[in-house]
Amino acid sequence: MKQIVVDPITRLEGHGKITLFLDDDGALANVYFQIPELRGFEKFLEGRPVEEAPRIVPRICGVCPACHHMASGKAVDAVYHVTPPPAARKLRELFFMGEYIHSHVAHFYALAAPDFVLGPGSDKAKRHVLGIVEKVGLEIGSKVLTFRKYGHEIMKLVGGKCQHPVYNVPGGVSRPLTEEQRREVERMARECVEFARFSLDLFGKVVLENPAYMDIITGPAYVLDVHDMGLVDAHNRVNFYDGRVRVKDTAGNEIALYEPNEYLENLAEHVESYTYLKFPYLKRFGWKGLVEGPESGVYRATPLSRLNVADGMATPLAQAEYERFFNTVGKPCKLVLATHWARLIELLYACERAVELACDPEITSPDVRTLPTRTPTEGVGIVEAQRGTLTHHYTTDEKGIIRKANLIVGTTNNHAAICMSIKKAAMALIERGKPVSEQLLNMIEMAFRAYDPCFSCATHCLPGHYPMEVTVKDSQGAVRQVLVRS
């Protein structure tokens, strides 16, 4: 048996590791994806005052700290049985849109674009964002930096602190927005809308009009037939901050539409000893392993799934793009690589939504907090993190001290789907008896990169791309072949 260890972000980081086993004929026997770390937030939240949770949990992930801050803030509201005033609710959402802009811009340009703009077969050494700058011009390169920064600037203007926010307090937010700050947010958000449109145009020209790329996108290596999950508003349109969780099966039929406090009736998690990360699955189907199809419990919570479960987008430009998207790829769409396109549509929505909120007359209202008065008990908060539906669940004593905490975080939702996508890509490439080609690395990379996996913050970098190394070992463990992407 040959063993191939793909350390996508090098063994060094220890934030994700792929191992491929070949049988003696050189055919793929199995693929394992491992997460080598657990930090134990669910335990050490116990004993903390519940209002401190929104300040602690952002450290789960420094790439999407606002998602945790928001889900936690909502869970704490629920614990205290308090509803924030409308202005506070809108301010939170506006703050959150800042993070969506920051994160989606970074992901598309630093990660996805190198494959498409430059082409998967381009010179490896240039297949990163600086390579894009070279190809499309410095102007765009600096735009990317600018708009990524705008995301953070919006967060700072609205909530004071962007990296590990401290904005949410039970029943609202810690401070109102001034008119001066509001104007600045509006200006940046409007520019962001234009940049999002530009990015979609770029994607259209470079990818959609290129049959070679379309072949890759629609090729069998990148189809994954699993269920979809995402948050929707009252009209079943995509929403990141609030709403109900909608689940559609592989055929596109709604099979669940649940409130945050109903998550335990819908979700469960499976444990394997070879990885520190659990595998969430849909309870109604049960855990049947890493398998596709209508009977499997595996689901996906990504930009693609959010579009799949929704009936549309709540803003006009994004809605037009949504229609173009499904007219092109069909609904439900199971093409893993179409996730990049979906992400750009979400970016456009986030920018439009930021403008809407910044222009809302209520947004500068001084009434940003409803002080809790009831005895705290238990609460669940859900938001749509960039990388998947994020659930925080806290139970407290009557003083609001956390007794139990349960978290199902963004990327974890996609754990099973990522494993399966990696395996599929590998199977499409590894041919019996032939040596494993260097191209495998990029194919695998492309498969899991589509999920924008959070455990590899390598997805949010400038300049950046995954370093990769594949070691092919024979059954005695001797190294036969080393493939390096650099």
Partner 1 sequence: MSKLKVAVYWAASCGGCDVAILDIHEKVLAVNEACEFFLWPIAMDFKYADVEALPDKHIDLTLFNGAIRNSENKHIAELLRRKSKVLVAFGSCAHTGGIPALANLYSKDQIFHRAYVESPSTVNPQGTLPQTATPVTEGELTIPTMFDHVYSLDQVVDVEYYVPGCPPNPERIWEVLFAVVSGATLPPPGSVIGAGERALCDSCGRKRTEDKRITGFNRVATTPLDPDICFLDQGLICLGPVTRDGCGQQCVKASNMPCRGCYGLPPGITDQGAKMIAAVASVIDAREPEDIRKIVATLPDQAGYYYRFSMSQSMLGRKKA
Residue 163 vs 253, nearer CB to partner 1: 163
Rule CB under 8 A: say whether 387 interacts with partner 1: no
Minimum distance, C-beta of residue 284 to partner 1, in the bound complex (Å): 13
SS3 letters across the chain: CEEEEECCCHHHHCCCEEEEEECCCCCEEEEEEECCCCCCHHHHCCCCEHHHHHHHHHHHCCCCHHHHHHHHHHHHHHHCCCCCCHHHHHHHHHHHHHHHHHHHHHHHHHHHHHHHHCCCCCCHHHCCHHHHHHHHCHHHHHHHHHHHHHHHHHHHHHHCCCCCCCCEECCEECCCCCHHHHHHHHHHHHHHHHHHHHHHHHHHHHHHCCHHHHHHHHCHHHECCCEEEEEECCCCEECCCCCEEEEECCCCCEEEEECHHHHHHHEEEECCCCCCCCEEEECCCCCCCCCCCCCCCCEECCHHHHHHHCCECCCHHHHHHHHHHHHHHCCCCCECCHHHHHHHHHHHHHHHHHHHHHCCHHHHCCCCECCCCCCCCEEEEEEEECCEEEEEEEEECCCCEEEEEEEECHHHHCHHHHHHHHHHHHHHHCCCCCCCCCHHHHHHHHHHHCCCCCCCHHHCCCCCCCCEEEEEECCCCCEEEEEEEC
Q: Is 286 left (phi over 0), alpha (psi -120 to 50) or beta?
A: left
Residue 62 vs 293, nearer CB to ligand SF4: 62
Rule CB under 8 A: say whether 13 interacts with partner 1: yes
CA distance 480 to 332: 43
Q: Which of 137, 198, 253, 276 binds partner 1 (CB under 8 A)?
A: 276
Residue 3 vs 236, nearer CB to partner 1: 3
Q: Which does 1 bind (CB under 5 to 8 A by kind): ligand SF4, partner 1, none?
A: partner 1
Q: How far is CA 114 from the centre of its chain?
A: 19
Rule CB under 8 A: say whether 288 interacts with partner 1: no
Number of residues in contact with ligand SF4 under rule CB under 6 A: 2
Rule CB under 8 A: say whether 272 interacts with partner 1: yes
Minimum distance, C-beta of residue 55 to ligand SF4, in the bound complex (Å): 8
Segment 71 to 100, residues that bind partner 1, using CB under 8 A: 76, 80
Segment 440 to 469, residues that bind ligand SF4, using CB under 6 A: none
Segment 153 to 192, residues that bind partner 1, using CB under 8 A: 156, 159-161, 163-167, 169-170, 174-175
Rule CB under 6 A: say whether 44 interacts with ligand SF4: no
Residue 165 vs 230, nearer CB to partner 1: 165
Rule CB under 8 A: say whether 32 interacts with partner 1: yes
b/e per residue 204-216 (b: at least 16 CB within 10 A) = eebbbeeeebeeb
Rule CB under 6 A: say whether 37 interacts with ligand SF4: no
- Tokens 């674009």 locate to 113
Minimum distance, C-beta of residue 447 to partner 1, in the bound complex (Å): 19
Minimum distance, C-beta of residue 380 to partner 1, in the bound complex (Å): 11
Single out the segment in contact with partner 1 by CB under 8 A; choices: 51-59, 83-91, 218-226, 355-363.
Answer: 51-59
Minimum distance, C-beta of residue 163 to partner 1, in the bound complex (Å): 5
Minimum distance, C-beta of residue 474 to partner 1, in the bound complex (Å): 12
CA distances from residue 90 to 7, 294, 353, 418 in whole angstroms, order as listed: 42, 38, 10, 33
Segment 390 to 419, residues that bind partner 1, using CB under 8 A: 393, 399-401, 404, 406, 408
Triad 365, 368, 374: Cα angle to 5°: 150
Minimum distance, C-beta of residue 13 to partner 1, in the bound complex (Å): 4
Residue 151 vs 332, nearer CB to partner 1: 151
Residue 62 vs 289, nearer CB to ligand SF4: 62
Q: What is the dihedral of CA 42, 59, 458, 274, to 10 degrees?
A: -20
Q: Which does 159 bind (CB under 5 to 8 A by kind): ligand SF4, partner 1, none?
A: partner 1
- Tokens 């199809």 locate to 293
Segment 45 to 104, residues that bind ligand SF4, using CB under 6 A: 59, 62
Residue 122 vs 210, nearer CB to partner 1: 122
Rule CB under 8 A: say whether 29 interacts with partner 1: yes
Residue 141 vs 165, nearer CB to ligand SF4: 165
Minimum distance, C-beta of residue 173 to partner 1, in the bound complex (Å): 9
Q: Which of 1, 212, 251, 291 binds partner 1 (CB under 8 A)?
A: 1
Residue 72 vs 302, nearer CB to ligand SF4: 72
Q: Which does 272 bind (CB under 5 to 8 A by kind): ligand SF4, partner 1, none?
A: partner 1
Segment 193 to 252, residues that bind partner 1, using CB under 8 A: none
Minimum distance, C-beta of residue 426 to ligand SF4, in the bound complex (Å): 32
Segment 327 to 386, residues that bind partner 1, using CB under 8 A: 369, 371-373, 376
Rule CB under 6 A: say whether 39 interacts with ligand SF4: no
Residues of this chain that bind ligand SF4 (CB under 6 A): 59, 62
